[in-house]
Amino acid sequence: MKILKGFLLFILSIVLIVFLVTFFLPSRFKVERSVEIDAPRHLVYYYVDDLRNWKYWDSWWKLDTNQIRIYEGPLFGLNSLYRWESKQQNVGTGELKIVEAKPFDSLKLALRFGQEMVSSSKFVFEEVDGKTKVNWMLEGELSFLAKWLGLFMDEAIGKDFLEGLNSLKGIAEKTFREKTSFFVDSIPNIKIVYITDSSTYNFNEISQKYASAFPELFEFAKKNNLVFLGAPISMTKSFAENKLVFDACIPVLSFDNAREEGRIRFGEIPTSKVVRTVYFGSYSDFSKAYTQLQQFLGENKIVPKGPLFEMYYTDPSLVKSEHNLTLIFAPF
C-alpha cells in the first residue's frame, strides 16, 4: 500500500510540476525570417499579393501537391483568400486571407489552421541598395496545453519560411531577368464594366484611347458606388490589317444597382483555365511577350479559347516604363 501511495504521490508531483511550468510558458509565439531579392519591390510584392502564386513558392504546397485550394474574392489584394484541404495530417485544412494591404510596402494575412488555431502573418517589403528585403513574420496565441509547442515553433516553422522565401527569390529574380514567366492556373467569373473602342496600330493612338476610356470607367464606377475587384483590363476583340478593336474594362464586385450609360456596358469574363503570363517591361515591347506566350502555348499544346486579355498591375504613371508589371491571360 505504501508503495502504491508513494507512486501516486510521484505521479501527482510530476503532473503538478508540468502544470506549473506550463503556466509560466509564454502563450504567444512569433516566428520571423527574411531574405534579400535582386528584383524591384513591386515585382516581389506581386508574387505574394496574388495568392495563386503561393503554390509555386510556399513550402507547404510541396507537402501535398494534391491538396485542394479554393480561391475567393479579388484576384489579388485586400480580401482575397484561399481555403485548403488535404488528406495528409501535417497539412490538414485551413484558410488564408489578406486583411490589410499597403502596396508595395506590406501585407497582413489572417490564417486559420483546422477549426481552432488562428494566427497572424505579415510581409514587409523594403528597398535596400537596389534590391528588395522581404521580412516574413508569423505570430499567434497558443492554448494552455499547446504552449509546449511554442518551444519548437521557431525552429520548425522558421525552416519552412526560409525555404519558401528562397523559392520566392528564385521566381522573382527569374522574372526580373527574363522579363516573362508563365503559370497554368484558373480564374473565376469576373464581372466587368467596359468601353469598346478602336484604333490604328499606332502606339501613341492606342495609349490615348485607353487614357480616355479608363478615367471614364473609373468615374462611372465611383458615381455608382461600384466595388473594384482588381486592376484595369484590356481585351482585344478583333484586329485587321490596320485596325484594332478592343475593350477597356475594370473588374467590379457587382453592377446590379447600376445602369449602362453612354458607351459604358456591362459584361463578364467566364471562369476558365488560363495560362497567366507575368510580364515585366515596357508596353512598347508587348510583341516580345506575346511571341514568347505563343511559343509556350505551342510547346505545351495548349489551344486558347476566347480572346486573350491583359491586366495592368502597376500604374504606369508611378513606375518607370520598363518596370511596368502586366498580366496576360490566355483562357483555354
Q: What percent of the chain has pLDDT over 70?
A: 86
Q: How high is the pLDDT of residue 157? A: 84
pLDDT exceeds 70 at position 24: no
pLDDT exceeds 80 at position 279: yes
Hey, how many other C-beta atoms are within 10 angstroms of the C-beta on 192? 22
Residue 262, beta-bridge partner list: none
pLDDT exceeds 50 at position 97: yes
Residue 182, beta-bridge partner list: 277
Q: pLDDT tier at 15 (50, 70, 90 boundaries)?
A: low
pLDDT digits (tens, 9 = 90+) for 147-186: 545 555 677 788 999 999 999 999 999 999 999 999 999 9
> Are the folds of 26-177 and 185-331 the same?
no
CA distance 224 to 221: 5
- Among 158-172, 230-244, 245-259, where is mean pLDDT lowest? 230-244
Q: How high is the pLDDT of residue 13? A: 54
Q: pLDDT tier at 146 (50, 70, 90 boundaries)?
A: low
Q: pLDDT tier at 204 (50, 70, 90 boundaries)?
A: confident
Tell me what the mean pLDDT of segment 195-204 comes to.
Answer: 89
Q: How high is the pLDDT of residue 4? A: 56
What pTM was estimated for this model as a whole?
Answer: 0.86
Rg of the Cα atoms in the chain: 25
Record the cell numbers describing residue 38, joined without a space.
535582386
Q: How high is the pLDDT of residue 99? A: 97
Q: What percent of the chain has pLDDT over 90?
A: 70
CATH topology classification for 26-177: Alpha-D-Glucose-1,6-Bisphosphate; Chain A, domain 4 (3.30.530)
pLDDT exceeds 60 at position 115: yes
pLDDT exceeds 70 at position 19: no
CA distance 323 to 316: 8
Place domain 185-331 in its CATH homologous superfamily: Regulatory factor, effector binding domain (3.20.80.10)
Q: How high is the pLDDT of residue 144? A: 46
Q: What is the DSSP letter of 227?
A: P
Q: What phi, psi does 302 have (nearest 5°)?
A: -105, 125
Q: Are 126 and 132 in contact (CB under 8 A)?
A: yes
Q: How high is the pLDDT of residue 21? A: 47
Tell me what the mean pLDDT of segment 107-124 comes to.
Answer: 87
Record the cell numbers describing residue 300, joined without a space.
505545351
Q: How high is the pLDDT of residue 61? A: 93
Q: CA neighbours within 13 Å on the CB side: how many for 235?
A: 21
Q: Where are the domains of the chain?
A: 26-177, 185-331
pLDDT exceeds 80 at position 17: no
Q: How high is the pLDDT of residue 325? A: 97
- What sections of the chain are H helices per DSSP? 2-24, 41-49, 59-63, 150-178, 203-223, 286-299
Q: pLDDT tier at 284 (50, 70, 90 boundaries)?
A: confident
Hey, how many other C-beta atoms are within 10 angstroms of the C-beta on 147? 18
Mean pLDDT, the chain, rounded, equals: 88
